[in-house]
Each structure stands twice: as structure tokens, then as C-alpha cells.
């Protein structure tokens, strides 16, 4: 997980969760809880989106490197 999330992102995740937990105790289980939950869910969605983008980018870079390696091998085996 550390390879997909840098230190500032982890700090934001922790701060977001702590603020949500504090809001639960300060606001109580009232109408404002729905607003706080919505903000928290949007934050989680953005974090998941960032994680998915990181995984996708890594996979794409690996595939491009494989293509590059195959092209280099092909150029090295062709007669000059």
C-alpha cells in the first residue's frame, strides 16, 4: 500500500478519519451526521480513485516496458 500512497496522502486519510470521528461525538447522531458522512464518503471515493489510478498506471508502465524490451530484442536479432 505504501507504493500507491505517499506520506501526505496517508496524513490526509488519517486527518479525514479523525475529523469525522470527532464530528460524530461533537454533533451527535443528528441531521448533521448525514452531511458529515457525505463529506467523508466523498473523501474516501477520491482516495480510492487515486489508488486505482496508481495501480492502472503501474500496470500500463509494465506493459510498455515489455513492449520496449521486445522491440529491442527484435532489433538486436535482425541482420545488419
pLDDT single digits (tens) 3-19: 666 777 778 778 888 88
- Where do the domains of the chain lie? 7-77
pLDDT single digits (tens) 22-35: 877 777 767 677 77
The pTM of this model reads 0.59
What are the Cα distances from residue 21, in Å, to 17, 27, 36, 37, 61? 6, 10, 10, 10, 38
User: How many Å from the N-terminal Cα to the C-terminal Cα in the chain?
Assistant: 47
Mean pLDDT of the chain: 81
* Secondary structure class of 79 (helix, strand, coil): coil
Amino acid at each position: 500500500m505504501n507504493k500507491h500512497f505517499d506520506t501526505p496522502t496517508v496524513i490526509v486519510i488519517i486527518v479525514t478519519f479523525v475529523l469525522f470521528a470527532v464530528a460524530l461525538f461533537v454533533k451527535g447522531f443528528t441531521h448533521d451526521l448525514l452531511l458529515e458522512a457525505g463529506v467523508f464518503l466523498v473523501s474516501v471515493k477520491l482516495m480510492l480513485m487515486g489508488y486505482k489510478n496508481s495501480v492502472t498506471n503501474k500496470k500500463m508502465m509494465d506493459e510498455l516496458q515489455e513492449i520496449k524490451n521486445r522491440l529491442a530484442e527484435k532489433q538486436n536479432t535482425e541482420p545488419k
